[in-house]
Structure 1
């Protein structure tokens, strides 16, 4: 999984493992930020280019299993439904790299195989409910606990549609779950897909510069096109 270098460091409290967000570069973006148990977090060994005293890299022990637990929670489903209506990409934070000296450190890039999620939810120690992150007012100042300099992200897709609605070609790379909608037509359902890791090339295209990211966020020019023109694939 690629470690994605941020355009500029962020305060340590602005992003968390297990967070589901529409914009990992903005603390004011709409997010689902669960409390993840310490058993679900592992600390990666620093590379030869990193100083273990000033750089820390933590990841989820089993990102797929945790996401399965989250998406089968009704609170998460309600939040994901709202996020999907914004027509923006959605990301699942699976790794965070922090540094006490971000201006002198560079994130490393690894290319580890991606483990697909299973469709059967498993028990995971996650504290619910979730809270929406609306401001950075409570963030720790940069340097106190280190600043976030890089992240690892998985792609997420959500949509509301008919139960018999076929998938499009681009959905093949996602592992899907399907959930009935309360107080809605019984023919409608919420579909939630966990996809592959965001790669460095895609990250550079999305971020570019800080100004480009802000402009895209404002204009909604970087949203998923759910009306995919490819022929549908039914029944998966």
Structure 2
């Protein structure tokens, strides 16, 4: 896949269609419905499993995007002012680097990124509900709606670009809302010792500089995904 900043208008529009149709938005609707119905903790935990995984899946699309979303925007517009406030909040409160977040999406914590002390699977029911309410009301879901509506119209690339920037920052806010929590649905299950040793070795190789991450675009190319 091309870098977002290198896409032409057609490729960019197609990319945005992929984003707004990600599974996260379906999972959010199901999770919100369960909260309204005051469903059982078991049902909420089962749907959160999908919500969390879908959130991480969406993040993979942004791993090559390192642009400042404010760059090039007229600072006097309402959108630019909103994004500036949100970005300042994100940068002031974020504790992780992009590299650390990429590894977290793979279920790995680097030595420089201690595992959060709050474990979602151990939260009291009331705190778990509060977290779910916080997540399903994140700005990314309204932002997705606005972006999807623009894609249905004959919208200019400039308008879509502005909407994408809003969407991207909203994703950062969603990711930040989860940053202080550790979630591993497989926690407590036994891992084969040889697998654990191999995983530790690969992480050590990366941190020593003897191994590198494969960019997502190369993975897509190898799999034949344009």
User: What is the TM-score when the length of structure 1 is the normalising length?
Assistant: 0.21
User: What is the TM-score when the length of structure 2 is the normalising length?
Assistant: 0.22
Structure with a larger share of its residues in strand: 1
In terms of Rg, which structure is larger?
Answer: 2
Structure with a larger share of its residues in helix: 2
